[in-house]
Amino acid sequence: MSKIEQRRLVQRLQAQGIKDQAILQAIYEIPRAFFVEEAFTRRCYENMAIPIGEGQTLSQPYIVARMTELLGLQAEHHVLEIGTGSGYQTALLAKLCHKVYSVERIKKLQWQAIHRLKKLELHNVQLRHADGWEGWKAKAPFDAIMVTAAAENMPIELLQQLRDGGRMVIPIGVGNQILQLITRIGDRYRVENIEDVKFVPLVAGELQ
Q: Which residues bind ligand SAH (CB under 6 A)?
A: 52, 56-59, 82-83, 85-86, 88-89, 103-106, 109, 131-133, 148-149, 200, 202-203
Closest to ligand SAH by CB, 191 vs 204, is: 204
Phi, psi of 7 (to 5 degrees): -70, -40
Q: What is the DSSP letter of 72?
A: T
CB 71 → ligand SAH: shortest distance, Å?
Answer: 13
| Strand pairing category for 142-147 and 162-172 | parallel
CB 208 → ligand SAH: shortest distance, Å?
Answer: 8
For residues 40 and 63, the answer to whether their CB atoms sit within 8 Å is: no
User: How many distinct helices (H) and strands (E) make up the chain?
Assistant: 6, 9
Residue nearest to ligand SAH (CB): 85
CB 165 → ligand SAH: shortest distance, Å?
Answer: 24
Closest to ligand SAH by CB, 115 vs 190, is: 115
Closest to ligand SAH by CB, 10 vs 91, is: 91
CB 69 → ligand SAH: shortest distance, Å?
Answer: 15
Quote the distance between the C-alpha of residue 89 and its chain's center: 4
Which sequence positions are flagged as catalytic? 59
Closest to ligand SAH by CB, 152 vs 192, is: 152
Angle at 38 between CA 33 and CA 43, to 5 degrees: 60
Q: Could you count the other beta carbons within 10 Å of the beta carbon of residue 142? A: 24
Q: Which residues pair with 192 in a beta bridge?
A: 181
